[in-house]
Amino acid sequence: MHCSQRLYCFYFICFLSLMCPVLLPPPAESDCSCNITNSRCDEFGVCRCDPGWDGEQCERCVPTPGCLHGSCQQPWQCSCEPGWGGRFCDKDLLVCSEQQPCHNGATCVMEDSGDYTCLCPAGFHGKDCQLKTGPCHQRRTPCKNGGLCEDADGFAAELTCRCLAGFTGPRCETDVDDCVMKPCANGATCLDGTNRFSCLCPTGFTGRFCTVNVDDCASRPCLNAGRCLDRAGGFRCICRPGFTGTSCETPLGDVGKPPRTTGNSSHHGDRPLKVTVSERSTARLSEMQLILLLVLAGLTLGAVVLTAALVLQGHCRNCGTAPCWSSSSSQRGQTSVQRAQQDECHFLNAAEPEKKKLNTVVM
């Protein structure tokens, strides 16, 4: 835009601003009937009250909050009605004459604050002199362990004690044994206290009542990949092939050897379990050497048995009878005749050296 054009626009705007009040119509007269001392009218003709005033035309003052039987001339006042007093007009000034709250011949007196006081005669006390000076009030309470003394507001001939939980007796002097019902489980020891008890749990259990079984496998006591089975108060290890022991700590090749004590230990429950390893200075046979030795021993024993069988068979052939050796099942089935032949066979075998000797003499 050219400079002359901008100047022209500026003059035009100034002219309009001067001519607008002349062109606008005059404002209509307001019909607001508000109390101009306590409020004002808004653009819609509605009364807007000052603080402390209320009503459609803001003609009513607001009393003090909490004022019951009073009124106000100015905001936040509480002027009491007849027969009422106090800051909030909530005290009945005619209570002594109309209600007579004091008992047992006491005198009712009104105070400046609007409250009343009862002047009790001898032997009575309380706000309204309704309590008699009975056994509980005449001397120091005899109830022990926090017991409450009761004497029917002083009218009872003898006092009684209301005991707190955990105590009993005429004067609440006896502590109740909280372990009578045996609340502790699994053989735990119950410790009595003041209105409470505690359980001393055995090994392997925990909880308030010793009912929770401790997971003895949580510490992984089984060695060499053994499987742990949790039990009440302990654990059991199922060992892999080739291992044995309470915690699967001993290889099967080391069974029967004297242990070597080391500084390592594990725990079974709360008891320390010593894990020992043994060493021997002497050389031991390997597994292959042991198998070879057993095979040789078996072959030797078989040869001995076969040789004995052949010798017995040769003797029986010389006798001309059935073999003297047989299986255990055939021996059980022999007849009495076969037993006699065997006896004869043994007899001839014993006499054979004598026959040889005679033949030698004749020759």
Ordered by start, the domain boundaries in the chain are: 100-169, 177-214, 215-274
**Do residues 148 and 162 make contact, with C-beta atoms less than 8 angstroms apart?**
yes
Per the CB < 8 A criterion, the answer to whether 51 and 75 are in contact is yes
What is the average pLDDT score of the chain? 75
- 6-15 pLDDT, tens digit per residue, is 545 555 664 5
pLDDT of residue 45 exceeding 50:
yes
CA-to-CA separations, 297 to 88, 200, 283, 290, 320, in angstroms, rounded: 120, 62, 21, 11, 36
Return d(Cα 129, Cα 153) in angstroms, integer: 11
pTM over 0.85: no
Question: What confidence category does residue 281 fall into, taking pLDDT thresholds of 50, 70 and 90?
Answer: very low
On the 0-12 / 13-18 / 19+ scale of CB atoms within 10 A, 209 is: middle
**Confidence at 209, pLDDT banded by 50, 70, 90:** very high
Grouping H, G, I as helix, E, B as strand and the rest as coil, residue 192 is strand
**Domain 215-274: what homologous superfamily?**
Laminin (2.10.25.10)
> What is the architecture, at CATH level 2, of domain 100-169?
Ribbon (2.10)
Better-predicted residue by pLDDT, 362 or 110: 110
Cα–Cα distance measured from residue 61 to residue 66, given in angstroms and rounded to the nearest whole number: 15
Do 215-274 and 100-169 fall under one CATH topology?
yes
Is residue 249 within 8 A of residue 223, CB to CB? The reply is yes
Based on the number of CB atoms within 10 Å of its own CB, is 168 exposed (0-12), middle (13-18) or buried (19 or more)? middle
> At CA 259, angle to CA 255 and CA 264, rounded to 5?
115
Token pair 């010793």 in the structure block, residue: 210
Name the CATH superfamily, with its identifier, for domain 177-214. Laminin (2.10.25.10)
Q: Average the pLDDT over 101-120 and give the result.
A: 88
The model's pLDDT over 151-190, given as tens digits with 9 standing for 90+, comes to: 887 888 888 999 988 899 999 999 889 898 899 998 899 9
What sign results for the dihedral spanned by CA atoms 92, 93, 94, 96?
A: positive
